């Protein structure tokens, strides 16, 4: 599937990023679902995940679901770097491709905050939620804007990227760079480094789902007929879907450096940042997630005044939060509904 | 450390391999510890692991340990493909480098069986034991030669390579091949594909130890001062230690195709092969091993008449069996002693 073309664009002007570079004439691509009510009290922010587009979030939105557009005004901002918002692949020279600057979770949320407040005039968010890097942005929203966020439900993600998770991410980056066709990021965008991308896909395949998922051949439920069929059809296809390698590495860098403690004012103190979260926050790690394991969320939760953890059971691992397993989707949807029913 | 030079060599002549190719003038490099007694009843076989040499097994052998050379005659055969026995790196043309034939666990054990019987005249083995691919060879010995093997202790390995484990192995191979310098295996052995090898190292780093190992910064106990220090010093060093890429891929292929059900006579029936094991077999998976998880061993064990599982507790994951954590080493040593004390 090619990248979607139905996004709206919010111009950000020149954005000064946390790491000291300017992103000129930046923009956020976003899509909204539902209608903002008169007192602007029904807004929800639901950020995207690593490599995902707004359309990849739509499985959790719909009539009869917790995120029902009849009730809520759901804003899905695309991450900087994802190819729809300002990214290596669409930024004009000299900040293009390998020169696209470093972007942090703090930067992501600062830009989204401008969209929400300046463009929509919204001052409170009934909920922020998201999967994986979307969960990282959810945590970041709760720390950066405790005055706005009324409820938070990060799923299969974390407030700080654990070292083991970083090792996984390093391996992805090194595999891409091992392909000489990557050319330090100066490849022709029309001919990306395919060997590197395919190695990237094979690495990701071992992490995205659990040991038991493979043992039980759960990929058959996705319509594949053999392990190799799944690895090529699902995984290699996934990363060759207009998902530019420089874009992927920009998002990887953001993920690697995830840490709410790096929010200005906290001086690197992750525990203090977690302790500053005011709203109820329900974290939902997946039981067998190999890179965001439940124990990390139990650690974070103990430092969040109204923090709670509810583990998504089953064998899908990280992709429990990807919307392709009906049981996991029902579990997440029910928890979000419960949170939204909670008075503030 | 360069490869060891203290091995002895057993000439195998021309070996016809399971997959239908001939390995001409093959040889097994091996080392022995202790003295074979008069009735040849004190022999133990302790095969090597992926990329390991016989010297890398020596941590489990020594005075006062279960594998005490004062009591036992311990034979450590180097795997075909490991650079000391016949391997892509030392085989003359035309079977050299990228043309080195496929070698299975069945082939490994068939060659070792000839060393043990033809060279040493040994007809019973008091024990076969090994780590990781050494565990795979242990299972294979118990299936191929139930008439010889009196006890078996595979640790952190399996009788059949699970699909999830294969996905990990595929990712290693793809990262190596993504480096154009690999040249389909026809690189100059003096200048191996370093980017590919370093990507290989980064991938392995995420698998070799558990999430909790990294969370607790257990690498400090190995003398490293930061995560990056560990990744470069331990992991990138590990694979650039004279461990030739074609050799690594030959061993990976063997690992990927591990399955005792492929033993001639079993027609692919893994359960029937496990059921044919006659000796007591104690499998010791590590609690947090990411690619040989304990549940796989529980599955195998139920099909082995005298099979048992004892999980190595702790956070070291697969490298619980690598000899670098004193607690894990003591646990393994104690279990081997208990098995050796068991009358047959």
Whether residue A335 contacts residue A326, with contact meaning beta carbons closer than 8 Å, is answered with no
Choose from B172, B174, B316 for mutation: most chain A CBs within 10 A. Answer: B174
CB contact under 8 A, A164 and B196: no
- What single string gives the DSSP state of each residue in A85-138? SS-TTTPPTTSSGGGPPP--HHHHHHHHHHIIIIIT----BSEEEEETHHHHHH
Quick one: pLDDT at residue B2? 82
Residues in A touching B209 (Cβ below 8 Å): 164
Which residue among the candidates A179, A283, A318, A328 is catalytic per the annotation?
Answer: A318
What is the C-alpha separation between B196 and B186, in angstroms, rounded?
14
CB contact under 8 A, B231 and A178: no
Interface of chain A toward chain B, CB-CB under 8 angstroms:
162-164, 166-168, 170-171, 174-175, 177-181, 193, 195-196, 198-199, 202-203, 205-207, 209-215, 217, 227, 231, 290-291, 293, 295-296
Phi, psi of A104 (to 5 degrees): -105, 170
CB contact under 8 A, A167 and B206: yes
Domains of chain B in start order, with CATH, are 8-161+260-340 (3.40.50.1820), 166-251 (1.10.1740)
Cα angle value B108/B52/B295 (rounded, 5°): 75
Quick one: pLDDT at residue A240? 82
Phi, psi of B52 (to 5 degrees): -75, 155
Average pLDDT over every residue of A53-60: 98
Contacts of B301 (CB under 8 A, 6+ apart): B281, B283, B307, B308, B309
Which of A171, A231, A291 has the CB atom closest to B202's CB atom?
Answer: A171
Nearest-CA distance A184 → chain B (Å): 13
Quick one: pLDDT at residue A1? 72
What is the C-alpha separation between B72 and B216, in angstroms, rounded?
38
Quick one: pLDDT at residue A254? 98
Residues in A touching B226 (Cβ below 8 Å): none
User: A241: pLDDT confidence band, cut at 50, 70 and 90?
Assistant: confident
Quick one: pLDDT at residue B243? 87
Residues in B touching A168 (Cβ below 8 Å): 206
CB contact under 8 A, B167 and A293: no
Residue recorded with tokens 């965001």? A292
Quick one: pLDDT at residue A243? 87
Quick one: pLDDT at residue B240? 82
What is the C-alpha separation between B81 and B27, in angstroms, rounded?
11
Contacts of A152 (CB under 8 A, 6+ apart): A127, A128, A129, A138, A139, A141, A142, A277, A279, A280, A281, A282
Show the low-confidence residues of chain B (pLDDT under 50).
none
Residue A85 appears among annotated catalytic residues: no
Residue A289 appears among annotated catalytic residues: yes
Q: Report the chain B residue with the minimal C-alpha distance to residue A168.
A: B206
Which residue among the candidates A132, A144, A158, A300 is catalytic per the annotation?
Answer: A132
Contacts of A159 (CB under 8 A, 6+ apart): A136, A139, A143, A258, A259, A260, A270, A273, A274, A300
- ipTM (interface predicted TM): 0.92
Active site residues of B: 132, 289, 318
Residue B140 exposed, middle or buried by CB count within 10 Å (0-12, 13-18, 19+): buried
Average pLDDT, chain A: 97
Average pLDDT over every residue of A122-130: 98
CB contact under 8 A, B198 and A178: yes
Quick one: pLDDT at residue B198? 95
Residue A242 has pLDDT above 80, yes or no: no
Task: Tell me the per-residue pLDDT of A252-289, one tens digit each, with 9 for 90 and over.
Answer: 999 999 999 999 999 999 999 999 999 999 999 999 99
**List of long-range contacts for B187-195, beta carbons under 8 Å, 24+ apart:** B187/B245, B189/B89, B189/B97, B189/B244, B192/B240, B192/B244, B192/B245, B193/A178, B193/B245, B194/B240, B195/A174, B195/A177, B195/A178, B195/A180
Residues in B touching A171 (Cβ below 8 Å): 171, 175, 199, 202-203, 205-206
Chain A / chain B CB contacts < 8 angstroms: 130
Nearest-CA distance A162 → chain B (Å): 7
3-state secondary structure of A80: coil
Top pLDDT among B245 and A189 is at: B245
Neighbours of A13 (CB within 10 A): 10
Q: Determine the angle formed by the axes of helices A163-178 and B194-208, rounding to 10 degrees.
A: 160
């Amino acid at each position: 599937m090619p990248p979607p073309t139905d996004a709206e664009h919010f111009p950000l002007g020149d954005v000064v990023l946390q790491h000291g570079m300017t992103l000129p004439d930046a923009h956020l691509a976003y899509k909204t679902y539902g209608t903002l009510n008169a007192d602007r009290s029904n807004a929800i922010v639901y950020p995207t995940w690593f490599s995902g587009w707004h359309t990849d979030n739509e499985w959790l939105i719909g009539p009869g679901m917790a995120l029902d557009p009849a009730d809520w005004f759901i804003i899905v901002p695309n991450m900087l770097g994802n190819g729809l918002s300002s990214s290596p692949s669409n930024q004009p020279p000299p900040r293009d491709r390998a020169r696209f600057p470093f972007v942090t979770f703090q930067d992501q949320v600062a830009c989204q905050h401008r969209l929400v407040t300046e463009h929509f005039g919204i001052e409170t968010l009934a909920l922020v939620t998201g999967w994986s890097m979307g969960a990282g942005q959810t945590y970041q929203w709760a720390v950066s804007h405790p005055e706005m966020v009324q409820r938070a439900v990060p799923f299969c993600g974390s407030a700080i990227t654990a070292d083991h998770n970083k090792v996984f991410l390093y391996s992805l980056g090194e595999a891409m760079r091992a392909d000489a066709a990557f050319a330090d990021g100066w490849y022709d965008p029309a001919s990306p480094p395919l060997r590197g991308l395919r190695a990237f896909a094979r690495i990701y395949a071992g992490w995205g789902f659990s040991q038991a998922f493979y043992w039980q051949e759960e990929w058959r439920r996705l319509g594949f007929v053999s392990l190799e069929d799944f690895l090529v059809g699902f995984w290699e296809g996934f990363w060759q879907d207009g998902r530019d390698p420089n874009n992927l590495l920009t998002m990887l860098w953001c993920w690697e450096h995830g840490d709410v403690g790096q929010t200005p004012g906290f001086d690197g103190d992750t525990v203090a940042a977690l302790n500053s979260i005011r709203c109820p926050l329900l974290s939902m790690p997946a039981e067998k997630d190999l890179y965001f394991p439940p124990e990390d969320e139990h650690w974070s939760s103990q430092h969040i005044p109204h923090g709670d953890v509810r583990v998504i059971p089953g064998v899908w691992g990280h992709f429990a939060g990807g919307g392709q397993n009906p049981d996991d989707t029902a579990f997440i949807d029910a928890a979000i509904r419960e949170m939204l029913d909670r008075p503030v």
